[in-house]
Amino acid sequence: MINVGIVGSTGYAGEELVRLLLNHKDVNIKFCCSKKFADKKYSDVYKNFFSLIDKECTEDDLIKMSKEVDVIFSATPQGYMASLLNDEILNNCKIIDLSADFRLKDVKVYEKWYGIEHKTPNYLQVSTYGLCELYREKIKDTRLLANPGCYTTCSILTVAPLLKSGLIDETSIIIDAKSGTSGAGRNEKIDNLYCEVNENIKAYGIATHRHTPEIEEQLSYVSGKNITINFTPHLIPMNRGILATAYANFKDGKKADYQTIKNIYNDFYKGEKFIRILNENVYPETKFVKNSNYVDINFKIDERTNRVIMLGAIDNLVKGAAGQAIQNMNIMFGIKEDEGLNLVPAVL
């Protein structure tokens, strides 16, 4: 049994972790931490858990908790884990951090985009970026796992194969992404109110969204070149789901036909259970991955403009957060990678 503590367990990603881990046969949830709801019953905060969890939320005490669990998941605001992590904790247990604190290798990039000081930049070189399909081997041995962001997971996995192939112009990548509202978290802000989000669509963080450098860093590793992209997220009136629509120009003289690109994707993701390269002319929709850990991907060649449009869809709370965190945990603890993640997408 893997004993688990969850910091930030009452946010939406935290709730999803609890929900999925409850059905993970090798996991025992020992601590649900929540500053805001400390001493309140977890099932009073999220009443769907009535009769399923009889635990109270506890204050964060990472050092104490680290001695009693095998792994701590943290689904906390940026900067929080960076301010608390130390060697003792890391010696006691493994850490899977769902925040951005340990994702970027360059502390200056972090501090510029996030606008806060990083308290423990020394761990940036220690942490492993937890995009399972790209870094499975490294993940096996890590004690500090930086779980990727939701937009970034979807964007990187959608674009990486073609970028690696060398067919597309590395300077031409534009990613126009759309997300359900759970991505904004459970924050009491006017912008998150039902009547503000419903019957509306907006772009936000245009040319400034914090997931941009994370996508760029990872795509740079994939391509071996310094990648700069445009990334524009949009807020959609629905609970879950991310769709990324990515555009790139073919390099001069590098026209490719359907089957060539199809093969590139198939080869890149060979044997990957959670990646589904769809059939020709079938394009990702968020409802087809809802409540599951799947990533649906497809592409369309536009011969008129000599561009390729790449599309990817994930559930932002599963593959974009809790599901991938559990997939990482499974890898880190050497159990079946899909344990607890055999979730059939709920189209309704």
The interface with its own copies within residues 156-215 (CB under 8 A) comprises 174, 176, 178, 180-182, 186-190, 192-204, 206-207
Instruction: Work out how close the CB of 283 gets to its own copies at its nearest, in angstroms, rounded to a whole number.
Output: 6
Question: Considering beta carbons, is residue 90 or 109 the nearer one to its own copies?
Answer: 109
314 contacts 295 by C-beta, under 8 angstroms: yes
How big is the chain, counted in residues? 348
- Residues between 126 and 155 with contacts to its own copies, criterion CB under 8 A: none
Answer for which of 218, 286, 293, 328 binds its own copies (CB under 8 A) is: 286
Q: Is 1 in the site for its own copies (CB under 8 A)?
A: no
254 contacts 208 by C-beta, under 8 angstroms: no
- Sheet of strand 128-129: strand arrangement: 27-32, 2-7, 71-74, 94-97, 144-146, 128-129
Distance, in Å, from the CA atom of 89 to the CA atom of 5, rounded to the nearest integer, reads: 12
- Which of these is catalytic: 32, 57, 132, 150? 150
Q: Does the active-site annotation cover 150?
A: yes
Instruction: Work out how close the CB of 248 gets to its own copies at its nearest, in angstroms, rounded to a whole number.
Output: 10
Q: Residue for token digits 């450098």?
A: 213
- Residues between 8 and 37 with contacts to its own copies, criterion CB under 8 A: 12, 15-16, 19-20, 22-23
Helix (H), strand (E) at residue 152: helix 150-165
177 contacts 242 by C-beta, under 8 angstroms: yes
3-state secondary structure of 128: strand
Phi, psi values for residue 276, rounded to 5°? -120, 110
Question: Considering beta carbons, is residue 123 or 274 the nearer one to its own copies?
Answer: 274
Contact pattern from residue 289 through residue 328 relative to its own copies, giving x for each residue in contact according to CB under 8 A and a dash for the rest: xxxx---x---xxx-xx-x-x-x-----x-----------
- Residues between 237 and 266 with contacts to its own copies, criterion CB under 8 A: 237-241, 243, 245, 247
Answer for which of 2, 81, 145, 229 binds its own copies (CB under 8 A) is: 229
Give the residue numbers marked as catalytic. 150
